[in-house]
Chain A
Amino acid sequence: MKRLILAALLGAAPISVSAQNVTITNATIATGDGSAPIEHATVVVRAGRIVSVGRDTTVLNGTQVVDGTGKWVTPGLFSAVTDLGLWDVEAVDDSNDTSADKSPFNAALDVATALNPASEHIAVSREGGVTRASVTPFNGSSIFAGQGAVIDLGKDAAIVMKPRAFQYVELGESGAKLAGGSRVAAHTALRNALREAREVAALPLGAQRQGDVLLTRADAAALAKVIDGTQTLYVGVERASDIRGVMALKTEFPKLDLVLVGATEGWLVAPEIAAARVPVITMPMRDLPSAFEALAATMSNVGRMKKAGVKVAIGLFEGGNQPRNATEQAGNLVALTKIPGASGLTWGEALAAITSIPAEISGFGGKAGVLAPGAVGDVVLWDGDPLELSSAPVSVWIDGVKQPTESHQARLRERYKDLDETYLPKAYDW
Chain B
Amino acid sequence: MRETPWKRRLLCGLAMSATLVMTTQAADAKKKDKDARSGPAPYASTYKPYPGRPTALVGATVYDGRGGRIDNGTVLFENGKVVAVGAADLAIPAGYDRVDGSGKFVTPGVIDIHSHLGVYPSPSVDALSDGNEMTSPTTPDVWAEHSVWPQDPGFTRALINGGVTTLQILPGSGNLIGGRAVTLKNVPSRTVQGMKYPGAPYSLKMACGENPKRVYGARNQKPMTRMGNFSVDRQAWIDAKQYMDGDHAERDLGKDTLEGVLKGEILVQNHCYRADEMAQVLDMAKEMGYKVTAFHHAVEAYKIGDLLKANDVCAAIWADWYGFKMEAYDGIPENAALLAKQGACVVIHSDDENGIQRLNQAAARAQAAGRRIGVDVPDGQVVGWFTYNAAKAMGIGEKTGSLEAGKMADVVLWNGNPLSVYSRPEKVWSDGALLYDAHDPKRKPVSDFELGQPGEGDVK
Q: How many residues of A contact B (CB 8 A)?
A: 69
Does A298 lie within 8 Å of B2, measured CB to CB? no
Q: In the complex, what distance in Å separates the CA atom of A255 from the CA atom of B54?
A: 65
Q: For A339, what are the chain B residues with a Cβ–Cβ distance below 8 Å?
A: 424, 438
Residues of A contacting B365 in the complex (Cβ-Cβ under 8 angstroms): 325, 328, 389
| Chain A residues closer than 8 Å to B79, beta-carbon distance | none
From A292, A318, A338, A388, B123 is in contact (CB under 8 Å) with A292
Q: Is B60 an interface residue, CB under 8 A from the partner?
A: no
A293, B305: Cβ atoms closer than 8 Å: no
Across-interface contacts of A152 in B (CB, < 8 A): none
Q: Check if B373 is an interface residue, CB within 8 A of chain A.
A: yes
Among the listed stretches A1-9, A84-92, A107-115, A223-231, which one makes contact with chain B, having 4 or more residues with CB under 8 Å of it?
A84-92
- Complex CA gap A261/B1 in Å reads 9
Give B185-210 as 1s and 0s: 1 = Cβ < 8 Å from A's Cβ atoms: 00000000000000000000000001
Report A88-104 CB contacts with B as 1/0, cut-off 8 Å. 11111000000000000
Q: How many residue pairs bridge A and B at CB < 8 Å?
A: 181
Q: Does B302 contact A (CB under 8 A)?
A: yes
Q: How near does chain A come to B2, taking the closest CB pair, in angstroms?
A: 6
B372 — which chain A residues lie within 8 A by C-beta? Answer: 392
Taking the complex as formed, is B279 at the interface, i.e. its CB lies under 8 A from any CB of chain A?
Answer: no
CA distance A265 to B1 in the complex (A): 13
- Which of B2, B302, B325, B364 has a CB less than 8 Å from the CB of A389? B364
Chain B residues, Cβ within 8 Å of A320: 4-7, 321, 324, 352
Interface string of B353-393 (1 = CB under 8 A from A): 11001100100110111011100000000000000000000
Q: B443-460: which have CB < 8 Å to A?
A: 449-450, 453-455, 458-459
Q: How distant is the Cα of A287 from the Cα of B459 in the complex, in angstroms?
A: 12
**A283 CB to nearest B CB, Å:** 9
Q: Are B332 and A335 in contact (CB under 8 A)?
A: no
Q: Determine if B424 and A338 form an interchain contact, defined as CB atoms under 8 angstroms apart.
A: yes
Q: Does A174 contact B (CB under 8 A)?
A: yes
Of the candidates A238, A332, A408, the one whose C-beta lies within 8 Å of that of B1 is A238
Nearest CB of chain B from residue A238's CB, rounded to whole Å = 5
CA of A336 to CA of B368, assembled, Å: 23
B369 to chain A, nearest CB (A): 8
Q: Are B424 and A173 in contact (CB under 8 A)?
A: no
Q: How far does the alpha carbon of A321 sit from the alpha carbon of B423 in the complex, in Å?
A: 21
A289 near B323 with CB under 8 A, answer no
Query: In residues 379-430 of chain A, which contact B (Cβ within 8 Å)?
Result: 387-392, 408-409, 412-413, 416-417, 419, 426
11 A-B pairs within 8 Å (CB atoms) are namely A88-B323, A92-B325, A268-B454, A286-B354, A290-B122, A290-B123, A290-B124, A332-B358, A338-B424, A388-B420, A417-B373
Report the 7 A-B pairs with minimum CB-CB distance, sorted nearest first.
A331-B421, A296-B454, A389-B364, A296-B455, A91-B325, A288-B122, A319-B4
Binding site for A on B (CB under 8 A): 1-7, 10, 122-125, 153-154, 157, 161, 210, 302-306, 320-326, 328-334, 338, 342, 352-354, 357-358, 361, 364-365, 367-369, 371-373, 415-416, 419-424, 438-439, 441, 449-450, 453-455, 458-459
